[in-house]
Amino acid sequence: MNIGFDAKRAIQNNTGLGNYSRYLAGILSKHYPENHYTLFAPRRKHNAGLDAVIDRANTTLIFPRGLCSIFAPLWRMIGVKKDIRENNIDLYHGLSNELPWGMGRSGTKTVVTIHDLIFMRYPGYYKAADRCIYCLKAGYACRTADRIVAVSECTKRDIMSFFHVPEQRIVVIYQGCRSSFAQSAGEDKKKDVAARYSLPRRFLLSVGTIEERKNLMLTVRALERLPGDIHLVAVGRSTRYQEEVERYAAGHALTSRLHILNRVAADDLPAIYQLADLFIYPSFFEGFGIPIIEALSSGLPVIAARGSCLEEAGGPQSVYIDPYDARALSEAITTLLDNREQCRRMAGAGREYVKRFSDARIASDIIGLYNEVIGPQARSAYVR
């Protein structure tokens, strides 16, 4: 098969949708090297995380040429169809909630991954203009695609509810995380990371954009009820919400115990997970919750919020609390910190649970979907 991908996020985003795009292209090119994978990106920009993928012989990166390079966003949404056709693409996979306009009439088979519809479920978190654009793009993609990949059962239910898509057109295929989270970072690496980021001896860990939906404030409020030697380390991109969290910490004598790291190298993150005592993820709503997979892969017990898809990511061995209840969170943290044996059991069960998110299994599910959509008689005669 000759598979095409929308690679905008793979090049431009270092987290979230970018991680998903790089991850999927990477595991497919590794586990199914007999296919060719063409990544269509609107502009040239170096991304270290993508290097290992595009260096493989079965992977090509294509950019707009001539005048199209001046109007790169327009090329990605309209002009890319010409390049898709010229490169004999059997199937084009939109990796981030959208497909180029007109793909339904192009003759090329299509798949789209829908990560979440939070902009429809919780519109207050988004600007009106952004919300309108996201709705238009996701709605068109869901109506047009031959099949839809939902990253969780929760997202699948939202697609069916908001866009009235028949269940048989949607398949749930989860996302995994980099294998480095499951590997020991080594004592030297952990000591180096602890020193460079000035990490405290005992800390709770939160990973994700510092935004209201992620609900970091709840963990800060729970921190008030915990012993003074317990700190909170939050890793993620800053937004205006961070100022609100920092003001609260300052007003409650917690500034010295709150450590917000906005710039953490990807290679350092596994060591930070492995240095933490517990992972806390009280997000109000997620499409899936990759940081939970990273934590479980790292052998870190997880406390997360009820109410979206986090139970799917965390499994039955993790602890779940009401995302509005700081007392419940502090009690759950205290229980685990006081019970090392329970933490060890949770760590072991977590490592076992995340095997369902292995690279090989996810790659197999995706390729199976591609085969089903394309059919045995519709493949191009692509020659490398």
Please give the pLDDT value at position 203.
98
Please give the pLDDT value at position 382.
45
Phi, psi of 200, deg, nearest 5: -75, 170
Please give the pLDDT value at position 353.
95
Kindly state whether residues 170 and 288 are assigned to the same domain.
no
Kindly state whether residues 255 and 321 are assigned to the same domain.
yes
Kindly state whether residues 96 and 171 are assigned to the same domain.
yes
Please give the pLDDT value at position 377.
57
Kindly state whether residues 207 and 342 are assigned to the same domain.
yes
Question: In the chain, what percentage of residues exceed pLDDT 70?
Answer: 95
Please give the pLDDT value at position 374.
93
Tokens 């229980």, residue located: 335
Query: How many angstroms separate the Cα of 241 from the Cα of each of 220, 228, 285, 290, 315?
Result: 13, 25, 16, 21, 29
Kindly state whether residues 232 and 151 are assigned to the same domain.
no
Kindly state whether residues 148 and 39 are assigned to the same domain.
yes
In a domain, 381, yes or no: no
Mean pLDDT, the chain, as a whole number?
A: 92
Give me the mean pLDDT over the 192-202 stretch: 97
Condensed to tens digits (0 to 9), the pLDDT of residues 282-312 reads: 999 998 899 999 999 999 999 999 987 899 9
CATH code (residue 213): 3.40.50.2000
Please give the pLDDT value at position 52.
63
Contact by Cβ (8 Å): 78, 101? yes
Kindly state whether residues 297 and 370 are assigned to the same domain.
no
In a domain, 379, yes or no: no
Please give the pLDDT value at position 105.
83
Kindly state whether residues 183 and 144 are assigned to the same domain.
no
In a domain, 383, yes or no: no
Sequence-distant (6+) residues with CB within 8 A of 30 are 56, 359, 363
For the chain, the domain total comes to 2
Kindly state whether residues 232 and 324 are assigned to the same domain.
yes
Please give the pLDDT value at position 48.
60
* Reported confidence tier of residue 381, pLDDT bands at 50, 70, 90: very low
DSSP 128: H
Residue 322 CA, chain-centre distance (Å), reads: 23
In a domain, 366, yes or no: yes
Give me the mean pLDDT over the 324-337 stretch: 97
* Reported confidence tier of residue 63, pLDDT bands at 50, 70, 90: confident
Note the pTM of the prediction, 2 decimals: 0.88
More confident residue, 104 or 330: 330
Contact by Cβ (8 Å): 148, 165? yes
Q: Residue 299 is part of which domain span?
A: 179-356
Kindly state whether residues 160 and 259 are assigned to the same domain.
no
Condensed to tens digits (0 to 9), the pLDDT of residues 338-363 reads: 999 999 999 999 999 999 999 999 99
In a domain, 122, yes or no: yes
In a domain, 380, yes or no: no
Give bridge partners of residue 321 from the DSSP assignment.
305
In a domain, 133, yes or no: yes
In a domain, 308, yes or no: yes
Which helix (H) or strand (E) segment is 350 a member of?
helix 340-353
Please give the pLDDT value at position 349.
96
Query: Using CA atoms, how far apart are residues 223 and 48, in angstroms rounded to an integer?
Result: 36
Kindly state whether residues 122 and 26 are assigned to the same domain.
yes
Residue 101 CA, chain-centre distance (Å), reads: 25
Tokens 């270092």, residue located: 14
Kindly state whether residues 27 and 45 are assigned to the same domain.
yes
